[in-house]
Amino acid sequence: MSKAYIVGRGSAADIKIPKQHDAVGKLHLEIEDTGAGQARITDLQSTNGTFVSVGRNWEEIKGTRIVALDADLMLGDFRTTPRELLATAPLAAAPRAPQDQPPRNAKEPSPLPVKKQRGGPRRNEFGEIIHE
């Protein structure tokens, strides 16, 4: 099984769609090359939907669907194919952890640094000199 990639306009997407396509969601769909010339497409509950061309009609992908790598896809207002999307996928992207589980190597965030207390006068938010 190959790696799944998130497609969208957002910075968290593995495969980024240009920002001018504002009908494409920040995290619009997930795509995975299944081999044998096919791809698994999962719509991530996008607002404007993911559609695949079937003959002369467009069918909405609700949930997951297996499509040909050269099938026409419409993500909001952006037209492409699974092959084109996978061609722009990052080569060394780290596998995504499931949404409900933290990554295996997750560390607790480091505590915030403690501010040093300075003695003597300082200025407050109004510019007044105060003594502590």
pLDDT < 70 stretches in the chain:
1, 92-120, 131-132
Q: What was the pLDDT predicted at 127? A: 73
Distances from the Cα of 16 to the Cα of 43, 49, 67, angstroms: 15, 17, 20
pLDDT at position 126 is 75
Q: What pLDDT is recorded for position 113?
A: 62
CATH number of the 4-87 domain: 2.60.200.20
Q: Which pLDDT belongs to residue 23?
A: 93
**Long-range Cβ pairs for the range 23-26 (8 Å, 24+):** 23/48, 23/75, 23/76, 23/77, 23/78, 24/48, 24/75, 24/76, 24/77, 24/78, 25/75, 25/76
User: Residue 30: CB partners within 8 Å, gap ≥ 6?
Assistant: 4, 5, 6, 7, 40, 41, 42, 44
Residue 90: predicted pLDDT: 85
